[in-house]
A and B are shown apart, each in its own frame.
Chain A
């Protein structure tokens, strides 16, 4: 499939990396020639210099033969115009990144329908949705959903006091009769492993597991001695669009929200817009401000100012004074690897979140193998793979398929049903297998159903 991406910023770059890595033909259009040359060297993409808002440039880039068109420059107008121009050609799917929230005033469907764009995506909106999703799961630090949201992949950090620490993976697997979950990957330090029976859970491990949503509370109770519940008291640092959106949604969930913003004028506007949120004029970096507001009673700190440094420092300060968990906005991907060691629980990058949302949309219902997610750090991938409609796979127990070392089936989607499988689970035609694997197992996974 030929894919055209307009905009070589962070979102565009992430999309190029993923889609060209999957063997797609990717054309990248940007007006910054230097940036293009750099990406051309690093990634397998065809660069075209020029603005995406010009029919000439798009024609030069081969818009006639393009199936998927994604406009993700920093300018809303260029993205929208580029999408509108692309309507003259036989492009199948159009996606635009739009930041200005006026476009969302009456829901997203309006813009999408009027302008003929299939998906309009706002990084801020995507980010606040992601934060809310994480908030409803008390201990998970990462969440991804598959199969229309019937099944979640959840990431947890195992701590010394958790019951799961010291258990073997074989034991955890045998608990499947009692608890429907499957540990699919463990990140230990910089390494991601697909665990085998004898591997043991160690403190500090990041455990990725798959579970059906209704079973999550029981599983969390068992493995981490706690149940998912909403946080009671939340601190939001930064009164920008993300902070305001999250505060409003949390008010509706009856969560006690305090919002810290350093600009007095913004504080006044927010105080008018929000009903129950306590708006405070502070930059989040004054220990006294935090202590006065009983930071030690706070279940969750969400640091979403537009400065990474402020977000990191205010999160660490709040945790130092007793806040239980933090979600921290990080724009600079270079910071991410060190954050776990510092004690930042959940680093989130708005561009990464937006790019992942686009990938989810693009990949859904594609060919036989569709990639659905990559685990943080990118050392393990998750794909959705359809079981071919061939006799030899009907009623075949899962354990009779030859899975390469370093891969595991986390869930089976069968119509509206989701199954957390064991080796005995029988395949049916058109089942979708959700498979986790590390990079060395990639080839074996791709040829799983080849004879």
Chain B
């Protein structure tokens, strides 16, 4: 099982600077904008904030999956960000979040958006995967875990 398909554009932030919920969303959104300059940071942030208002995307176990549909996109984009110290995110178990997966999808219904979200949730259900992501020492190591190339790929 993997979190990142090779063809998909993915951004990795090994250590987030953000220390609040708002800053995390902005930092992740900014990384997406850097990758796809046609996106607008303020608008992206608003989409994510609107979603969080319906209920936190923090799953618990230190993992959050902020996500949203962005009409300007024509393919999905994933940003992974890690915070060693953790960020309070109103998660279901009340614990701070260390691993953030931002998933943005085009508005067209033909994209397998829900399938991708489900895949991410499945991937992150494995405690070993979460532990290895937290311990990984650099971007390359993170990438290989996310791509499922590392050991411990049981699927």
| Among candidates A161, A167, A217, A221, residue contacting B115 with C-beta atoms closer than 8 Å | A167
Bitwise interface map of A from 165 to 189 toward B, beta carbon under 8 Å scored 1, else 0: 1111011111111100000000000
> Which of A161, A163, A215, A227 is within 8 Å of B114, CB to CB?
A163
Is A419 positioned at the interface, with any CB of B under 8 Å from its CB? Answer: no
> For chain B, which range describes its interface: under 10, 10 to 19, 20 to 34, or 35 or more residues?
20 to 34
- Alpha-carbon distance A227/B59, docked complex (angstroms): 21
Chain A's closest residue to B52 (CB) is A218
What chain B residues lie within 8 Å of A271 (beta carbons)?
A: none
Contact flags A215-241 to B (C-beta < 8 A → 1, else 0): 101100111010100000000000000
Inter-chain contacts of B114 with A (CB < 8 A): 163-164, 167, 171-172, 175, 222-223
Identify the closest chain B residue to A203 (Cβ).
B109
Known: A215-B55, A221-B54, A225-B69. A178 touches B117 (CB 8 A): yes
CB distance from B148 to the nearest CB of A (A): 17
- Establish whether residues B113 and A217, one from each chain, have CB atoms under 8 Å apart when the complex forms: no
Interface residue? A395 (CB, 8 A): no
B89-130 near A? 1/0 per residue, CB < 8 Å: 000000000000000000001101111011101101100000
Closest chain-A Cβ to B89's Cβ sits at a distance in Å of 13
CA of A166 to CA of B51 in the docked complex: distance in angstroms?
22
Chain A interface size, as a band, is 20 to 34
Let me know if B2 is at the binding interface, CB within 8 A. no
Q: Is B26 an interface residue (CB 8 A)?
A: no
Q: Considering residues A160, A174, A218, which has the most beta carbons from chain B within 10 angstroms of its beta carbon? A: A174
Q: In this assembly, does A162 line the interface, its C-beta being within 8 Å of a C-beta of chain B?
A: yes
B54, B122, B124: the one contacting A218 at CB < 8 Å is B54
Instruction: Check B109 against A161 for contact (C-beta < 8 Å).
Output: yes
Bound-state CA distance A160–B110 (Å) is 9
Q: A162-B109, A177-B59, A225-B69 are in contact. Are A168 and B115 (CB under 8 A)?
A: yes
Contacts of B119 in A (CB 8 A): 171, 174
B118's partner among A162, A175, A214, A218 (CB-CB below 8 A) is: A175
Chain B residues whose CB sits within 8 angstroms of the CB of A221 once the complex forms: 51, 54
> How close is A163's CB to chain B, nearest CB, in angstroms?
6
Tell me if B83 counts as interface (CB < 8 A to partner A): no
Given contacts A167-B118, A174-B122, 4 further A-B contacts (CB under 8 A): A171-B118, A174-B121, A222-B114, A223-B114
23 contacts between A and B (CB under 8 A): A160-B109, A163-B114, A165-B109, A166-B109, A166-B110, A166-B112, A167-B112, A170-B118, A171-B119, A172-B118, A174-B121, A175-B114, A175-B117, A175-B118, A175-B121, A176-B121, A177-B60, A177-B121, A177-B124, A178-B65, A178-B121, A217-B55, A227-B54
Interface residues of B (CB under 8 A from A): 51, 54-55, 57, 59-60, 65, 69, 109-110, 112-115, 117-119, 121-122, 124-125
